Amino acid sequence: MNREKLLKALPAIERYASTVLAVVCTLGLRLVLDPVLGDRAPFMFFILPIWVAKRLWGRGPGLLATLLGGISVWYFILEPGFSFAVKNRADAFNLAGYFVIGVGISFLGQVTTRPPASLAEDGKSSKFRVVRQTAVLAAAVLILAGMGLLLLRDFRRTQDAEGWVIHTYQVINSAESLRSLMVDAEAGQRDFLMTGDERFLAPYNSAVAALPRNLDELKGLTSDNPAQQARWNQINGIVDMRLAMLERGIEMRKASEVEQVNAALRSGQAEQSMNKLRSTLDAVMREERRLLVGRRAETELRASRGRWVLGLGSTVLIILLVFASVVIERETVRREEIAQALRRHADLLEQAHDSLFTWPLGGAIDYWSRGAETLYGYSREEAVGRSSHEFLQTSHPLGMAQVDFMLEREGQWKGELTQSTKDGRKLIVEGLWKLAVDAKGNKTVLEANRDITEHKRAEAENLLLATAIEQAAESVVITDRDAKIQYANPAFTRTTGYTHVEALGQNPRLLKSGQHDAQFYQELWATLAAGKLWRGEFTNRRKDGTLYMEEATVAPVRDASGEITNYIAIKSDITERKRGEEEVRLLNVELEQRVRARTEELETANRELEAFAHSVSHDLRAPLRGIDGWSLALLEDCGEHLDAQGQKYLERVRSEAQRMGRLIDDLLHLSRVSRAELVPSTIDLTALAETIIARLKEAHPGRCIEFVVAPQLQCTGDARLLEIALTNLLDNAVKFTGPRAAARIEFGTTECEGNPAFFVGDNGVGFDMAHAGMLFGPFQRLHKASEFPGTGIGLATVQRVIHRHGGHIWAEAQAGAGAKLYFTLGAGKR
């Protein structure tokens, strides 16, 4: 015990000195009380210093106290005092007993008790302890009372015996006094008889006066003893007779009858009577003395027995005392341990995460744990004294009355409740309530609530996730760290044919098809062991033996310490997809082949077209040039042989040849526009238009044309192609405004369906919109060649340029009221 350790920590010298002091004090006390106690209970007091020394200072001081106390009693208290002699065996026995007890106390082991594992369990044994303690106490009281009664009786008897001793001496005294009185009476009468002097009658007279009283006294003293009464009767008779004879002698002397007196004296009757009286008195005294001896022996016996009783009683009492002290010590230790356990429990309660609080049934909260403070946000001061249900807005689907009813009926209640925190948050708690009933029948509710709000939410979430996994189209397989299947969803069964039950505990190699080599699996496991995701495709085998392909993602799951605990595989059956992909791939291959073939064809055609264009430009033009050249040569050299008609025809030949040359040129132009590679750049259309207009003005010096060009027209496109297009458009406008005295040609921009559109407008002859469809076809003309010359390729070329820029071209016109050609250029498109 802590206390013991603390006290034993005193210096040894101090502990032993204290022991000696305690023994000396006890001895002093015992000596002071000696007149009262006599030789009774000589050792009782000395148990105390042993006990104290043992308890407070340890075993050594206990033994020292035993030794010193024993010696003290032995020397100072036991008869004979101030000597180590022992008068009787009882003392020796007591001394030995004392030493045994003293050593026993000193060696009394440390009282150890098993700490109660549970306070509730401890409560069960407490009844037994109470009974035991009461029994010990009752035994001690009974023994004390018995000892007291015995001692009281002995004391009374001893007192009686002493009364009898005195009685004996009184009887003897009375008998002696009787004899002496008789002697006095005899001597006084004889002296008178002899002298006749009446003065000698004084002793006789006083003796005669005292004798009856003396006789009465003796009679009273021996009234309890018939034998002595009989003797008294004899004595009384002798005394009466002698006194009568003495009186007669005196009267005779007085009457001077000396003869008769002498005769009486000589008769010796007096002598006989006295002897008889003496012997009878002696008998009385002898009898009394005999009785006295018997009574003395009885007193002695009683005293001895009293000592034994006292000694034995003391011993038993001491044993009881020791036992009681052990019990008390044990109880003290136990209480201390219970108190510690309670403190520990209290600390434990404070540490608990659960909210714990108590309230007397129907009353207000009287305990509020730290956990409750944390959970609800109310401090202890705020919570204590308030009514639990209202305070926390506790509610249960069936109503709180039902909960309270169940609690009272069953003694405890378990279930889920909703409660509110201080800041108004709703909580779902799992309550475990218990009704504690104390000895007085007071009922207290021990309310332990655990916050399961988060748990519930997580549970719902888990349910959601679990449902998602259950319903997923993909197979989901979860294994433990040893790759044993723990879970497989219905999709797994659908894919593989193995049921959930069949798959459990199996290794996923159950599905192995043998289509992958060992290295494939090694890489898979190496990736997972490194804590990484593995993605890939398996070819596996179904339960029915057919092969299928699946795309899998396998992920390791780690716990907080980073250890891999599970693997999760999510797999989708891609057999069909693979088949589809294979089909697509084959189609693609085929398509590619076809495209390649077609491209080759196109390239060939293109080459042929180029060759054609080349030959057109080169080979077709050469004969034309010949036709023209030789026609001219004919005119020049043989003109005189031809009449005007013939010369005119030759001129027609030449002009037709030249027209064909222009046609060829325009066709080549169109072909080049189609084939040329686009080189996009930012183009200032305004500047480009101005350049073209300058050229046109020069080409048509006689015309009066008003050109209106919008400023800062910009676009992105191929400069050369756009110049061709714009040239064609403006050239057309110039051509078709030919009949107008005041021609007006405008190049500008407008908005069309949110996009900028350029336009070239004129106030020329226009055209009927009914024919607008053929406007952009090659060799299509809306006007007679005689009115407006042209090859019909110009607008086709323009359209080709615009289309190649990803734009549109369209026209708005009215016959005789001018035309407007709009075009857009695809924004950034090629």
Partner 1 sequence: MNTKTILLVEDDPSDIDLTKRALAKGHILNNLVVASDGQEALDYLFGTGAYAGRDISDFPALTLMDLKLPKVSGLDVLRRIRAETVTRRMPVVILTSSREEQDIAAGYDLGVNSYIRKPVDFEQFVQSVVQLGLYWLVLNEDPPKVK
Contacts with partner 1 by CB under 8 A lie at 613-614, 617-619, 621-626, 628-633, 654, 657-658, 660-661, 665, 668, 672, 676
Smaller CB separation from partner 1, 658 or 674: 658
Q: Could you tell me the smallest distance in angstroms from the CB atom of residue 588 to partner 1?
A: 35
- State the amino acid at position 58 in one-letter form: G
Q: Could you tell me the smallest distance in angstroms from the CB atom of residue 638 to partner 1?
A: 14
User: Which ranges in 411-513 belong to alpha helices (H)?
Assistant: 453-471, 490-496, 500-503
Residues 6+ apart with CB under 8 A from 448: 354, 355, 356, 431, 432, 433, 434
Pick from 256, 303, 301: which is nearest to 151 by CA?
303
* DSSP 8-class letter at 73: I
- State the amino acid at position 812 in one-letter form: E
As a whole number of angstroms, the distance between CA 757 and CA 537 comes to 54
Q: Could you tell me the smallest distance in angstroms from the CB atom of residue 802 to partner 1?
A: 21
Burial bucket for residue 659 (CB in 10 Å: 0-12, 13-18, 19+): middle
As a whole number of angstroms, the distance between CA 556 and CA 568 comes to 6
- State the amino acid at position 200 in one-letter form: F
Q: Could you tell me the smallest distance in angstroms from the CB atom of residue 814 to partner 1?
A: 38
Q: Could you tell me the smallest distance in angstroms from the CB atom of residue 639 to partner 1?
A: 15
Smaller CB separation from partner 1, 219 or 672: 672
Please give the helix or strand (H or E) that residue 751 lies within, else none.
Answer: strand 743-752
CA 696 from chain center: how many Å?
98
Q: What is the end-to-end Cα distance of the chain in Å, rounded?
A: 101
Smaller CB separation from partner 1, 187 or 624: 624
Task: Residue 244: count other Cβ atoms within 10 Å of its Cβ.
Answer: 10
Q: Could you tell me the smallest distance in angstroms from the CB atom of residue 801 to partner 1?
A: 16
483, 567 in Cβ contact below 8 A? yes
Smaller CB separation from partner 1, 345 or 625: 625
Smaller CB separation from partner 1, 573 or 628: 628
Q: Could you tell me the smallest distance in angstroms from the CB atom of residue 608 to partner 1?
A: 15
Smaller CB separation from partner 1, 646 or 661: 661
Smaller CB separation from partner 1, 345 or 614: 614
Coil, strand or helix at 251: helix
Smaller CB separation from partner 1, 318 or 657: 657
334, 113 in Cβ contact below 8 A? yes
- The greatest distance separating any two alpha carbons of the chain, rounded to the nearest whole angstrom, comes to 269
Q: Residue 6 is encoded by which pair of tokens?
A: 């603390």
73, 95 in Cβ contact below 8 A? yes
Task: Residue 521: count other Cβ atoms within 10 Å of its Cβ.
Answer: 12
The 10 Å CB-count burial string (b at 16+, else e) for 492-513 is bbebbbbeeeebeeeebeebee
Smaller CB separation from partner 1, 317 or 673: 673
Q: Could you tell me the smallest distance in angstroms from the CB atom of residue 753 to partner 1?
A: 36
Q: Could you tell me the smallest distance in angstroms from the CB atom of residue 619 to partner 1?
A: 7
Smaller CB separation from partner 1, 626 or 739: 626
Q: Could you tell me the smallest distance in angstroms from the CB atom of residue 615 to partner 1?
A: 9
